[in-house]
Structure 1
């Protein structure tokens, strides 16, 4: 790239898992696709800082984009991983109720999951404790469709298929400004070789940066200038042996799904994420939070050894509703929403964004192709 004005058919901003999935889908549909990534390589933002869980689609309101795209995306993702040999495991998960007052919560979760077409099986405490030795529970829900995935392997596969279809990824290319023009959208691209890039179609998949970018996009209606909140969640790994071969979740808490136990594909356990509302992007992990983690986990696993908790990493959820504001759906706004041709903005793509990525890609492509 140089300081001149360049032209492109379709530009995807952001090379996280959703951006790569969208770019691949567009390229397979015959578009000439260029992906712009601000960072030095793909997938280093929120796509690499999550639980790597393939969600079943349990918690989301019936008919919401999160519910529809998670359920659709989960099946697409399992099929994709099998056919492309992306490492994954359908290990299932338990949602456990540690006290009798949580039985009604479990029943509500099961009812919501059923409305989304998700298989979720109610079990009494004895059944849970047989399946999860050492866990204290009065009842639980078993989700056989939940799994785990190598998210980096998934992104490598998506990128390879994008490039095979003629698409291109350019890293170190932040979009500094944008405007609606008669011929499409003009993007001011920074980096080592800054330029102005005029694209007929643009998909804003910038993750944490999607809302800030839309706020400065000249020519967009006010409906696209949203407020965003940041919810940081930290993870602690658990060193040594443990008794689990499946995921274990407590009852969800405001802003997240509670401090839960997940496994990587090597079987190592980790706990998280919690929820901490922050003002700016910050991925630090305070080792002092281990005591709070331990107290929460011991409500359902009394045998946890706090000394084996080690700070791991942090992720940030881009929220479209702040503390205490309740559920906010994905926002995938195309020309039918905002009236601007050739533009799709993806806002609030938090969990289950990884699970939904292939379904989101198909949804976006249907707006533009």
Structure 2
């Protein structure tokens, strides 16, 4: 089998992998991105809410808080200078009854600790802002928005290639060996080969943990466990009264069944949270009734027959349903002792919002 040489390999061509590869290529590195799928962005990056998050929910000082806040501003700036469709829609977080006031106050405190200003509304002011919504109190996040993740990835890939980088699809990484001489990747697919490099970034999304668990020369004791939380989305056909996003207060494992908008203005609801043993993006139409029951708590005018199964995404969790908050896990040589190796684990929400900030961080680790 032929062995090819390059400077740096990024494994995974989702939005984070492409952002990292672009950042390193623009810094003058010779970069090859290996993607097991037929094209870029077929995994987590194409199965999310496409929301630019405000940086509200995460503990102050965490990587999620830091990268979400930095990434949000980088992303808005990027969209203004590149052909990436987006809109700053704003978002309401609501308490639909008095029992949720406490959790809503905790959201406000968390946002304040992160330096995120939220507007508070009750009574008539809230009714004017969200007509038809049943809520006793709400918090408004003006810097939340939506983005075309596909257009973002197309733009990142274009800049990567303009800087001399290369994307190779249908190129699954079967095995990796790391030693004093660098890293050797065994690549399968249509043109199997070995690829030798000095540095490698594991940005394989759902596959990052399984790949690291079989990585020769990397102590498996540093590899976190893999948990999977499926989130299902239902689209809402026809007209609706919303021009902003609406979230109930968070629930364990996620942010609750919320309303988001696509760039054409169509409403969709989700994701819910379902813990599963292995990645599976099947959408069970039977989950619709649970959606109806949840949504009607705050939007009584919902017409259930207009809810249609849309798609499902998988969150790559690093701990199970009882664990509470778990941060991104980004490992480099200072953690595991392997020179030139960075693992990106548990890059779930707000990974899309954070992608450009994560890329800058990885570049600093590779410096």
In the superposition, the TM-score normalised over structure 1's length comes to: 0.98
**1:175 to 2:173 alignment:** yes
Residue in 2 aligned with 1:366? Answer: 364
Query: 1:125 touches 1:140 (CA, 8 Å); kept in 2?
Result: no
Residue in 2 aligned with 1:291? Answer: 289
**1:219 to 2:217 alignment:** yes
Alignment of 1:121-160 (within 5 A): 121-160=119-158
Shift of 1:85: 2.8
Shift of 1:127: 1.6
Shift of 1:337: 1.4
Separation in 2 of the partners of 1:115 and 1:338?
A: 31
Structure 1 unaligned regions, length at least 5: none
Which of the residues 316, 322, 326 maps onto 1:318?
316
Shift of 1:182: 2.1
Alignment of 1:52-71 (within 5 A): 52-71=50-69
Shift of 1:7: 1.1
Query: 1:177 touches 1:188 (CA, 8 Å); kept in 2?
Result: yes
Query: 1:119 touches 1:145 (CA, 8 Å); kept in 2?
Result: no
2:198 aligned counterpart, secondary structure: strand
Residue in 1 aligned with 2:279? Answer: 281
Separation in 2 of the partners of 1:306 and 1:56?
A: 30
Separation in 1 of the partners of 2:103 and 2:209?
A: 33
**1:355 to 2:347 alignment:** no
After superposition, give the CA deviation of every residue in 1:80-136 in whole Å (9 maximum; x if it has no partner). 000113100000000000111111211111111011111211111322221111000
After superposition, give the CA deviation of every residue in 1:287-342 in whole Å (9 maximum; x if it has no partner). 11111001000000000010000000000000011011111100011111111100
Residue in 1 aligned with 2:97? Answer: 99
Which of the residues 164, 167, 171 maps onto 1:166?
164
Residue in 1 aligned with 2:84? Answer: 86
Alignment of 1:24-43 (within 5 A): 24-43=22-41
Residue in 2 aligned with 1:269? Answer: 267
Structure 2 unaligned regions, length at least 5: none
Which has the higher mean CA deviation after the structures are superposed, 120-129 or 3-12? 120-129
Query: 2:83 touches 2:151 (CA, 8 Å); kept in 1?
Result: no
Residue in 1 aligned with 2:196? Answer: 198
Which has the higher mean CA deviation after the structures are superposed, 280-289 or 340-349? 280-289
Separation in 1 of the partners of 2:336 and 2:147?
A: 35
Separation in 1 of the partners of 2:101 and 2:34?
A: 47
Query: 1:214 touches 1:224 (CA, 8 Å); kept in 2?
Result: no
Separation in 1 of the partners of 2:291 and 2:338?
A: 46
Separation in 2 of the partners of 1:93 and 1:126?
A: 18
Alignment of 1:233-244 (within 5 A): 233-244=231-242
Separation in 1 of the partners of 2:119 and 2:131?
A: 19
Query: 1:110 touches 1:121 (CA, 8 Å); kept in 2?
Result: no
Residue in 2 aligned with 1:20? Answer: 18
2:56 aligned counterpart, secondary structure: coil
Separation in 2 of the partners of 1:317 and 1:60?
A: 16
Separation in 2 of the partners of 1:224 and 1:185?
A: 18
2:6 aligned counterpart, secondary structure: strand
Separation in 1 of the partners of 2:126 and 2:9?
A: 49
Separation in 2 of the partners of 1:90 and 1:284?
A: 31
Alignment length, in residue pairs?
Answer: 367
Query: 2:118 touches 2:140 (CA, 8 Å); kept in 1?
Result: yes
Query: 2:6 touches 2:196 (CA, 8 Å); kept in 1?
Result: yes
Separation in 1 of the partners of 2:127 and 2:252?
A: 27
Shift of 1:224: 2.5
1:230 aligned counterpart, secondary structure: strand
